[in-house]
Amino acid sequence: EVQLLESGGGLVQPGGSLRLSCAASGLTFNNFARSWVRQAPGKGLEWVGAISGNGGSTYYADSVKGRFTMSRDNSKNTVYLQMNSLRADDTAVYYCARNYGDQEGFFDYWGQGTLVTVSS
Amino acid sequence: QSVLTQPPSASGTPGQRVTISCSGSSSNIGTKTVNWYQQLPGTAPKLLIYRNNQRPSGVPDRFSGSKSGTSASLAISGLQSEDEADYFCAAWDDRLNGWVFGGGTKLTVL
């Protein structure tokens, strides 16, 4: 069974940092880009960023640019999201998803999500 | 404010046909393909329609997608109670250089 499993969420104070992980199992995802998509409580989906299959390229939403950094370790089939300078409006469930294709592609596999709460 | 515009809610009775619209611009829907995601209560989103009108394996043919100009639509025929969910459209945006989503439409089966 193909699975994406996020971990690393939790409660963090404003201005703090957190690192999320997204591990893939059941299939090698190394040739595929992966994205993070978040959903604030009771709100819609917001794309956060994407990293290419080899990790050489990254793309970020303006709302997180300069604060969040994506990386990947293909030997572990895992993608990371380093989140710094966290703000209250970063509170959300963070989903990891596989990108199938480029700009004409889509998110075909999703993880179950991990909750990040930014609060003092 | 989402880049793609969807109605916040839609409803129908079992067996009915409902459509959900998604409006964008020339930098996204006008030049890129549209995907739709279904999010059942308390679960992660799931791919429902890709590249405007393609269904992944396992998605019933009651679900269909279309695109015209800078707008797209999701149609659900033979509405069933298990279709009650949130539906999101998405596309790449050339101006923002990233993926954009609609605000989501909550479908209620009456």
Q: What is the pLDDT of residues B6-38, one digit of tens each?
A: 999 999 999 999 999 999 999 999 999 999 999
Looking at chain A, the whole-number percentage of residues with pLDDT higher than 90 is: 88
Whether residue A60 contacts residue B96, with contact meaning beta carbons closer than 8 Å, is answered with no
- Tell me whether residues B99 and A50 touch, CB distance under 8 A: yes
> pLDDT tens, B50-83?
999 999 999 999 999 999 999 999 999 999 999 9
Q: Which of A27-41, A80-94, B37-51, B86-100 has the lowest mean pLDDT?
A: A27-41
- Which residues 6+ apart lie within 8 Å of A66 measured at CB? none
Q: Which residues in A lie closer than 8 A to residue B100 (C-beta atoms)?
A: 47
Buried b (16+ CB within 10 A) or exposed e, B17-54: ebebebbbbebbbeebbbbbbbbeeeebbbbbbbebbe
| Probe site for chain A from B53, B99, B100 (most A CB atoms < 10 A) | B99
Does position A102 have pLDDT exceeding 90, yes or no?
Answer: no
> pLDDT tens, A2-59?
899 999 999 999 999 999 999 998 877 778 999 999 999 999 999 999 999 999 999 9
Rounded Cα–Cα distance for residues A8 and A63 (Å)? 21
- Min Cα distance A27 → chain B (Å) is 17
